Amino acid sequence: MGAVKITEGVYFVGALDRERKMFDEVIPLPDGTSYNSYLIQGNEKTALIDAVDPDAIKQLFENLNTLKVKKIDYIIANHAEQDHSGGIPFLLEKYPEAQVVTNEKCAGILKELLLIPENKFIIIKEGQEISLGNKTLAFILLPWVHWPETQATFYKEEKILFTCDFFGAHIATGDIFNDKNNEEPAKRYYAEIMSPFRNNVTGNIKKVEALNPAIIAPSHGIVHLNPSKIIAYYKEWASDKIKNEVVLVYVSMHHSVKKMASHLHDALVKRGVAVSFFDLAKADVGKLAMSLVDAATIVVGAPNFLAGAHPAAASAVFLANALRPKLKFASLLISYSWAEKASEQLKAMLTNFKGELIAPVIIKGYPKEKDLKQIEALADEIAGKHKEIGLM
Ligand code: FEO
């Protein structure tokens, strides 16, 4: 992807990665991703905001060459994670006069991750500014979206806010200003890395709104020419609001748990409760994470496997626990043949869950009529609880 002009002297110079299928080796990327980097040319100095993943450095260099960039004075690191910082050592080789501008915490991490020497840094504090001549860049600390050192850079004269991961999306599109299909990739991205920090997200949205940015330019996905749209999504996702929805995930080895889960699915739908239904043997973990953003309840179906929880169910519960969703209720559907330890193991993994654990349905073997009745009772209980808290 070539350089794209955003406004006078401000260019997208980043890279698209359409081939990448997984992020952090856990998150599927159905739409690929991008590593956005931005060039800001003042009449005295030139700054580059965020580098790219080291695997994509060639695209960044091609874009800088196209724009005939001979000198970079400042490489601004808004975030230390390597998909934005990994290109910095290569940039410092090509532009040896450049200084890395970032906050103290980010510099500390960059020194450890990338072995960037101390004398290459300019350390900034909250609100500090640097001048590029006719352009001014100010720095705003936005911690925990999603690492402790995250910051944004504000090009004051044109009110463009560069937010790195914050408001980003995993999508590789050459149409970088088109926000028509952005909700799903942005929610997928939010669910996977921002949702565990929703209180920090809410606080940082307020800081962003106080700046009244005309444009928000994150370092993944599209550039927001209408920032109010992505801010509204973020406010909704990070709010306390939950939906009349059950995330029902299951893994089944010999159809017993599948029958239990299907029966619960149908019973919930009959009672007016929406269900996001996932077979863990095939599920897209990103879609599961998205469903957890605003569901009221999770139910996990699992067989006992080697006298304990099935690894696929344990992995899903581990993820759900790590994402700290707003869930109010949780329950289990368990089947066993000769020993039952899965339920206690899975319950013990929900260390971050602060809601109510509804008594699980635990059965021996394939579900019989009496077992299906228990599942219907569980559906009644879930629907009743959703009613009690005003969701239906
Ligand atoms: Fe896109 Fe936290 O890195």
- Closest atom of ligand 1 relative to the 82 alpha carbon: 3
Instruction: Quote the CA–CA distance of 111 and 115 in Å, as a whole number.
Output: 5
* Measured distance CA(317)–CA(260) in Å, rounded: 18
Give the residue whose CA is nearest to atom 2 of ligand 1.
81
Give the CB-side neighbour count of residue 96, counting CA atoms within 13 A: 1
22 DSSP β-pair partners: 28
Checking if the pLDDT of 1 tops 90, the result is no
| Residue located nearest, by CA, to atom 1 of ligand 1 | 165
The domains found in the chain, sorted by start residue, are: 4-238 (3.60.15.10), 243-386 (3.40.50.360)
Q: How far is the CA of 206 from the centre of ligand 1 (A)?
A: 21
Spacing, Cα 197 to ligand 1 middle (Å): 14
Mean pLDDT to the nearest integer, 277-281: 97
Distance 350 CA to ligand 1 centre (A): 26
For the stretch 202-258, pLDDT in tens is: 999 999 999 999 999 999 999 999 999 999 999 999 999 999 999 999 999 999 999
pLDDT tens per residue, range 86-104: 999 999 999 999 999 999 9
Ligand 1, atom 3, residue with closest C-alpha: 81
Residue 208: the pLDDT is 98
Query: Could you tell me the two tokens for 50?
Result: 């965020």
Closest atom, ligand 1, to C-alpha of 168: 1
Give the pLDDT band (50/70/90) at residue 23. Answer: confident
Going from the Cα of 84 to the center of ligand 1, the distance in angstroms, rounded, reads: 7
Extract the tokens encoding 39: 């060039």
Q: What is the pTM of this model?
A: 0.95
**Rounded distance between C-alpha atoms, residue 62 and residue 89, angstroms:** 17
Distance 316 CA to ligand 1 centre (A): 22
- Rg over alpha carbons for the chain, rounded to the nearest Å, is 24
Pocket of ligand 1 (CB under 6 A): 79, 81, 83-84, 146, 165, 220
